[in-house]
């Protein structure tokens, strides 16, 4: 399966992609690969906390075949 890349740069992106990933996690199928790019570690933490809450509320199984890579630009 090909990898899907998502860019989270606003609150709207955050909400839309949490819904998308939750639905993807609940869908049947083999490994689903995602790359997610964030502008900052802070937004990444907010996203992951909200995604976890969505998984709990929607009863996403632990074995959901998601393979997610999180990317935060290096600001040296």
- What pLDDT score does 29 carry? 86
pTM (2 d.p.): 0.88
Query: Mind listing the pLDDT tens digit for each residue in 9-50?
Result: 998 999 999 999 999 999 998 899 999 999 999 999 999 999
Q: In the numeric block, which tokens belong to residue 14?
A: 């955050």
- Give the per-residue pLDDT at 42: 92
Of 2 and 26, the structure prediction assigns the larger pLDDT to 26
**Contacts (Cβ under 8 Å, ≥6 apart) of 19:** 54
Which element (helix H / strand E) includes 55?
helix 41-57
Question: Which residues are within 8 A (CB) of 32 and not within 5 positions of it... i.e. 6 or more apart?
Answer: 1, 4, 24, 25, 65, 66, 67
Q: Is the pLDDT of residue 2 over 70?
A: no
Dihedral of alpha carbons 59, 62, 64, 66, sign: positive
């Amino acid at each position: 399966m090909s990898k899907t890349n998502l860019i989270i740069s606003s609150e709207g992106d955050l909400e839309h992609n949490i819904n998308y990933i939750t639905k993807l996690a609940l869908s049947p199928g083999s490994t689903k690969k995602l790359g997610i790019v964030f502008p900052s570690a802070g937004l990444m933490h907010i996203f992951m906390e909200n995604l976890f809450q969505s998984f709990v509320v929607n009863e996403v199984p632990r074995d959901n075949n998601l393979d997610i890579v999180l990317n935060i630009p290096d600001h040296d």
